Amino acid sequence: MAGTLQRQPTVTPARRLAWRAGAVVTALAITTLFLALSGRDPRLLADLVVRSTVGSRFGLEDLALFLTPLLLTGAAVTVTGRIGVWNIGAEGQFYAGAIGATAIGLFLPGPSWLLLPLMAASGIACGMGWILVPALARAYAGVNEIITTLLLNFVAGLLTTYLAVGPWHDRVTGALASTGRLPVRIPEIWGVVHWGFPIALAIVLGLAWLTTRTRWGYQITIGGANEQAARYAGIPVRARILGVMLLSGGLAALAGMFEVAGTVHRLQGGLANNFGYFGIVVAVLARGSCLNVLPAALLMAFILNAGIVLQTQQLTSSAVLAITGLVLFMIAIADELAHYRPVTIRPVTPRPATSAEARP
Amino acid sequence: MTDLRHTQPDAPPPIAPGTPPILQLQGICKYFPGVIANQDVSLDIAPGEIHALLGENGAGKSTLMNVVTGIYQPDGGEIILNGYGQSLAAPQDAIRAGIGMVHQHFKLVPAFTVAENIHLGWRETPFRASAKTLEARTRALSDRFGFSVRPDAIVADLSAGEQQRVEILRVLARQARLLILDEPTAVLTPAETRDLFRALRAFRAQGNAVILISHKLDEVIDISDRISILRAGRNVGTYRTADCTAAGLATLMVGREIVRRDLRARAPGAAPIAPAPVLSLRAATCRDPRGVETLRDVTLDLHGGEILGIAGVAGNGQRELTQVLTGMMPLSAGEILLDGTPAPLADPAAFARAGIGHIPEDRLRSGLAPSLDITDNMALREYDRPPIGRHGLYDRAAAARLAGTIVEAAEVRVPDLATPIRNLSGGNQQRLVARREIRIASRVLVAAYPSRGLDIGAIATVLRYLTELRDQGVAVVLVSEDLEELLNVADRIGVLFHGRLMATIDAATADMETIGLLMGGRSTQNSPARDGGQA
Ligand SMILES: Nc1ncnc2c1ncn2[C@@H]1O[C@H](COP(=O)(O)OP(=O)(O)OP(=O)(O)O)[C@@H](O)[C@H]1O
Ligand SMILES: [Mg+2]
């Protein structure tokens, strides 16, 4: 008999990685093809993208600035995913964190070594507060968290805009667009890259350790895999759901604090730049593993950065979304295809079935 | 057609000579990484027969049937349907070819109604279907095939027997000519089993065929026409049921003879029954969310060194009793005492730390996390104590060592410990849970249907584990539907009816009739009850 394709129940990580790499390459190839069809020189654009992302110092700095919030929001969505909860509200918690940090930065005088930790703490507290109600509702009343966290994003976005153009608006220039420049900033370590980047990296690595090597992480893995079995083992599932969601809110909020205190230096509408939603994309790519957040966030940062470059070449900003969608789509296909393996069916000499001869 | 004068209504129909078998397997092979699940299996299923498939846990029965239903592709061999070679690329192909399967673990959508489940993924489901139409169609099907179901009930609320009827109806509605049942009676009450068998005979009488996988030899001999036996993935023979005896089949399956021991006899040097109870219930009462009493006023004492059997028709409070005894369910009234002092309410972790093990009724759903690997699953009870859990950490290497120990003690062969536990055979999952719980049961083991889904060799082993625990001075609660098993191993037998402990009787003087009457709720006059409802 001829060879057929057969679906394997499990896939080795190496195999999946190979397929995903293929998917990304395919997606980029398709993008190039479309660019070529719309009358641009793909070689020129590719050259430009590479030079202004990984091929130059400025590109790398930009990449790191994109990477910082993506690492944190990606981790925020990934940790809740481990206990079977989807935090769609990283965007809102990002804003809440930025607001909390700005409040301290604008209105509390003091040295920056004191103010920065305070801003972080205040931002994190605000982010946790922002997710608190959805978390309580999910843990103790079973209210679906996807809708509650999502809706709060719009509230947070509007609140930020209101503060930035309203009560907190810039008194120096008087322009109704943002708050004044924060008096303190996260120190830079390399060009425009500030300390938020290594801290975000360390946090993701720490989370990877926390989720796989600690008792707390084990409880969350079990709770996410089978809630009933977790109850059977005496794991306080509700408390863990609450804890993980608060942690998630705090992580996204820290991303907001880093963004406002390290990169933008003022609170303004649209500050979150969809980093909260791209965090969901990162989490989907990371498949529940905090370690995988690193490459997933890197890919996402690269796409965002490339999108900026393409915009300078008169491409519309929706191109970024289209490319992201294409990459995700190809990766989803690759994940499925990775299960299939060609097998050749060896014909076995047919024998008549044993029938009622022997007697037990 | 059939000569009605000589045929009983449910007997196998006479089949014209030369009729091709409904299904013929030739040299089927199926391999998993590190496991030979099926090797060169040949088999034929004639129309109008009930064909039993026997074999030890992990012998490859479920896998073979998954090949037949297109869930797995064979790595070798041929499937011939009604005389034509056929390749079944997907389950839909098998359904189209008239093969329907009811799986060991049900595959219904719990949140949907019966009618919705029946019509899910069915080509004949009307395009615009209201709940009413679906329910009416379901009722018609239910009448036609003689499986009574409640079309508007939510599946999650149904008993195992009712869920199974839905599964079978789902399959029959799709015009199956070959019905495959994987351990259908493991979760059924005797009455439900009788109903099922009646329906199967009616199905056979129409010239259809049934493949039945079961570990219960008496049932197999009762219902089947022919029997095939798998051992380590190979078909070691197909026999006419009329020629078989239970003992002979058991020997064939296991490859050696099974010796029955008197399990109630204690080994020399065994711990005596402790005078003071370890765990006691005082007037324990439970209510379900609707306020219905599921456990009523139960008072009992568990003593170290004895086995208390719990008999009763499923659904009479067994689940609640085991959950109360293991700290999973709070009491609405009454008390639970651990060593004479009130126990912390409903804290299963505290109960586990106190040395109370629990083999739960529904292992896959409540005792295991199917998608996780063997290591994580085996650590479920000991992750918070050394050597796995120290200073709030989870030591994966120590967990893997523990898993290795449990796998070895359970005599389960696994390719490696990173295999997701859902890839193990049903019986092997069970053995692992049993061993895991026995490890932590230093004071009490609550075992709910521990032999469910096990082959007879493994049942003997599990019962031996229980008696060994007893001899070490552990109090064992054995919930079972098998009276013979209870009479064989238990020292005392309590009978549950409608959540009430009808009586606790001495197993040495008990007889089946008395217990049977108590199980039906009949009062205990003239019975050898020792202390009328209280132990
Ligand atoms: N998807 C899978 N991946 C890897 N191994 C598997 C898979 N499915 C089954 N196996 C292995 O194949 C063997 C046969 O399993 P199978 O489920 O067919 O046994 P069974 O005869 O049905 O046993 P039981 O009576 O315990 O249900 C087992 O060793 C099992 O671990
Ligand atoms: Mg099986």
Q: Where are the domains of chain A?
A: 41-312
Confidence of residue B523 (pLDDT cuts 50, 70, 90): low
Question: What percent of chain A shows pLDDT beyond 70?
Answer: 92
pTM of the model: 0.83
Q: Is residue B95 part of a domain?
A: yes
Whether residue B341 sits in one domain with residue B300: yes
Whether residue B211 sits in one domain with residue B120: yes
Whether residue B80 sits in one domain with residue B136: yes
Task: Return the structure tokens found at B62.
Answer: 């479920």
Q: Is residue B515 part of a domain?
A: yes
Give whole-number Cα distances, B250 to A110, B229, B452, B458, B513, in Å. Answer: 83, 10, 17, 11, 28
Residue of A9, A10, A350 with shortest CB distance to B78:
A350
For the stretch B233-266, pLDDT in tens is 999 989 999 998 888 888 888 776 666 666 777 8
Whether residue B336 sits in one domain with residue B209: no
In 3D space, the residue among A77, A81, A73 whose CA is nearest the CA of residue A98 turns out to be A73
Q: What is the DSSP letter of A319?
A: H
Whether residue B310 sits in one domain with residue B198: no
Whether residue B323 sits in one domain with residue B249: no
Q: Is residue B175 part of a domain?
A: yes
Residues 6+ apart with CB under 8 A from B260: B460
pLDDT over threshold 50, residue B527: no
Q: Is residue B223 part of a domain?
A: yes
Q: What residue numbers bound the domain in which B317 lies?
A: 277-368+440-532
Across residues B487-503, what is the average pLDDT?
90
For the stretch B356-373, pLDDT in tens is 999 998 888 889 999 999
pLDDT over threshold 90, residue A178: no
Whether residue B285 sits in one domain with residue B233: no
**ipTM for the predicted complex:** 0.85
In 3D space, the residue among B302, B46, B341 whose CA is nearest the CA of residue B177 turns out to be B46
**Domain stop point among B222, B254, B286:** B254
The pLDDT value recorded for residue A151 is 95
At B234, which CATH number? 3.40.50.300
CB A275 within 8 A of CB A73: yes
Arithmetic mean of pLDDT over chain A:
88
Q: Is B425 in the pocket of ligand 1 (CB under 6 A)?
A: yes
In whole angstroms, give the CA distance from residue A23 to residue A331.
5
Whether residue B159 sits in one domain with residue B105: yes
Q: Is B412 in the pocket of ligand 1 (CB under 6 A)?
A: no
Q: Is residue B133 part of a domain?
A: yes
Interface A-B, measured as beta-carbon pairs within 8 A, has a size of: 140
Q: Which CATH number fits domain A41-312: 2.60.40, 1.10.3470, 1.10.10, 1.10.357?
A: 1.10.3470
Whether residue B115 sits in one domain with residue B158: yes
Centre of ligand 2 to C-alpha B4, Å, is 38
Is residue A6 within 8 angstroms of chain B, CB to CB? Answer: yes
pLDDT over threshold 80, residue B2: no
In whole angstroms, give the CA distance from residue A66 to residue A275.
9
Q: Where are the beta strands (DSSP E) in B177-270?
A: 178-182, 209-213, 226-231, 234-240
Whether residue B294 sits in one domain with residue B245: no
Q: How many residues would you count in chain B? A: 535
Residue of B366, B393, B396 with shortest CB distance to A229:
B366
Whether residue B294 sits in one domain with residue B236: no
- Chain-centroid distance of CA B63 in Å reads 17
Quick one: chain B helix, strand, coil %, rounded to 5? 35, 25, 40
CB B24 within 8 A of CB A350: no
Number of domains in chain B: 2
Q: Is B233 in the pocket of ligand 1 (CB under 6 A)?
A: no
Q: Is residue B403 part of a domain?
A: no
Q: Burial level of B293, CB count in 10 A (0-12/13-18/19+)?
A: middle
Does A348 contact B29 at a Cβ distance shorter than 8 Å? yes
Task: Return the structure tokens found at B51.
Answer: 């064909």
Whether residue B286 sits in one domain with residue B243: no
